[in-house]
Amino acid sequence: CNCLVVVPQDKVVSVESFGSFLKVLEPGLSFAGLDICGACISLNAISTRVDQIICRVPTKTRDNVFVQAEVAVQLSIMPDRIQDAVYKLTNVQEQLESYAAEVVRSLLPTLTLDEAFEKKEEISGSIKETLGGHMQEYGWQIHNALVTDLKVNPDVMRSMNEITRQQRLRDASVMSAEADMIRTVKRAEGEADAAQLAGEGIARQRGAIITGLRQAIGEAQGETITTEDITTLLLTTQYFETLKDIGSRSTSKTYFLPKGDPNDPEYQTQSGLLQGTVGLEYVMNGARGAGEGSYRGPAQQSMVAPSPCGSASPIPAAHSTRSFRSSPIPAGHSQHSPPSLPQPSYSRPQ
């Protein structure tokens, strides 16, 4: 007998009398009507809770990438249209999937894959609006429609990740090149400013030297010094300064070139003295640099054999040159004793 019915809190019951809708029973103890062995009254219960249905819709994007969109639809019955919710739809889930597929397949083909991921909220709003308008006719209320996932083929996902990685690498390369360019420009600007300041300093130095020479020589001799004399003296000074700078380098070498006849006793004596002086400087420099573990060669001294016409000429093929380089002290010699030098031979021309 279905005369008295207890309805749970989360449900409502529609009452049918001889197959016709009679009324809706709210939660609690209710009187359904006179019934004889269940032949007169039949009951249909339906939940009032919010339900969630997952709709999976395969489609493709504008850039021809096939994806499967998952849409989670949250819905419940409308309290004032329980009769429509019970009697109008046979299968609510299939109806929802049809409406959701219609919306998704009309929107995603107009978007690229990146735009589809970026515009999930817009797609969800369109689905909710469309489903809400259609399902109200059947007594169902749509609370939300969420695009929870866009499933892409794993190969496509790897390709997208590789594209993103290459873009990041390109951006990093561009930024590194721009930083190198800025460093190069700033370094060049600094060198240009330093060269300009150095040139101004040298110009002031030369001007002071010329003024000092003019005043000193003019006061000593009691006459005016011409510009040609000052220029000659300045060039001579620069020449000796250049020789000094060349000779102070660690890679400088000493060459002894024959002046004329190599058998000339005067030349042999002079050459022996020069070689002895250079050797002594070599040993003294080596003793001072012994604490550093290396020897420094002597300053460069060179003599070029003049040609008969007074100009410098290259070394003859038959003459040899002697060169002193920085090297360890030979075995058997102390660091304070000069190395053995070849003794000059004396002979008179016949």
Q: What is the pLDDT of residue 184?
A: 92
For residue 304, give the 3-state DSSP assignment: coil
209 Cβ neighbours under 8 A, 6+ residues apart: 234, 237
If we measure between CA atoms, which residue out of 33, 32, 20 comes closest to residue 87? Answer: 20
**Interatomic CA distance for residues 298 and 254, integer angstroms:** 8
Query: Which helix (H) or strand (E) covers residue 160, if one does?
Result: helix 154-221
Cα 266 from chain centre: 71
**Which residues of the chain form beta strands (DSSP E)?**
4-7, 11-17, 20-25, 28-31, 41-47, 51-60, 66-77, 140-152, 254-255, 323-324
Q: Are 11 and 47 in contact (CB under 8 A)?
A: yes
Q: What is the pLDDT of residue 316?
A: 40
Look up tokens 């060179």; give the residue: 302
Look up tokens 């300093």; give the residue: 201
**Interatomic CA distance for residues 126 and 119, integer angstroms:** 11
> How confident is the prediction along the chain (350 residues), in pLDDT tens digits per residue?
567 888 888 888 888 888 888 888 888 888 877 777 767 888 888 888 998 999 898 988 888 888 899 999 999 988 888 888 888 888 888 888 888 888 898 888 898 888 888 888 888 888 888 888 888 888 899 999 899 888 888 888 888 788 888 989 999 999 999 999 999 999 999 999 999 998 888 888 877 877 777 777 666 666 666 777 777 777 777 777 777 777 777 777 766 566 666 677 777 777 777 777 777 777 777 655 554 444 444 444 444 334 333 433 343 433 333 443 333 444 444 343 444 434 444 344 43
